[in-house]
Amino acid sequence: MIRKASAAWRGTGRDGEGALSSQSGVLNETPYSFKTRFEDQPGTNPEELIAAAHAGCFTMALAFALQREGFTPTELSTEAAVSLDQDGAGFRITRSALTLRARVPGLSEAKFREVAEAAEKTCPVSRVLNAEITLDALLED
């Protein structure tokens, strides 16, 4: 399975503007810029999208893990807080903190922690945060 998204950018890093689009159409020329990334102007940014992907992936992984254990959650709610920090001359994502609130009838606290920790380790987005990155770059006129 391959999922795609694209980014377009016009102008300089600080004063330019870009747009993000996704294969599904959920993002369709969604604006992003220095101001949406570092100054909380309306729009999105890569870290927010990574946080949404991490929260969604982990929560679904947990739902499947609970199902395998014979439990049906009433509700799973996860927030991911992604930290972008200065790293030398650039920046890097240093942390993704998941905060989970769950309602799962009949599940003990110990089993809940066991299943949640395993789900975090097997969530594909958790795993990609340390993945090898490849680049196929082409400069067009």
pLDDT digits (tens, 9 = 90+) for 7-22: 999 999 999 999 999 9
Residue 83 CA to chain centroid, in angstroms? 12
DSSP one-letter code for 16? -
What is the average pLDDT score of the chain? 91
Binned at pLDDT 50, 70 and 90, residue 138 comes out as low
pTM: 0.90
What is the distance between the alpha carbons of residues 127 and 107, in angstroms, rounded to a whole number? 26
